Structure 1
Amino acid sequence: MGEILLNLLFVAGLWLAVEYCLKRETAQSLDDASLIPFADDPEVARRVELATGKVVKAVTPEEARPGYVNLDM
């Protein structure tokens, strides 16, 4: 009985913590956050825009300047 009560308290505490963390977020900010993984690849960003109709704020990859080399780490 005590273990069930502790589990219920844990679940309620977790739910309250998530609600507290997300209370200042708007639907627009959450939508923008869901598109962040596609922002660094312009081709994938274009396909996501075509599939969802949502605008992905894609960034273009940095080009290597003369005399410098971009290292992939």
Structure 2
Amino acid sequence: MLDPSGPVPAAEHRVSVDERGSFAFASCSCGWFAPARRSRDRARRDAAEHLSEHLSEYLGDHPGDHPADHPAGQRS
């Protein structure tokens, strides 16, 4: 069972990109939203970055935790 005080599982994040006139808006079922973008591609990237952040948080990944982040596999 998941800890209710912990991060929301990425599977529970449902992002969408909506268009209103010349602008696109990325938003998520968790309440997150990105600024209005004229570039639909940028709005989609905002949504993908949001999902990526939560997936990493949920799985326990943190910047610098991967061996590829360190030369010769050494950690600082």
TM over 0.5: no
- If the TM-score is normalised by the length of the shorter chain, which range does it land in? 0.3 to 0.5
The structure having more radius of gyration, on CA atoms, is: 1
Greater strand fraction, Structure 1 or Structure 2: 2
Higher helix share: 1
Q: Please, what TM-score do these two structures have when normalized by structure 2?
A: 0.32
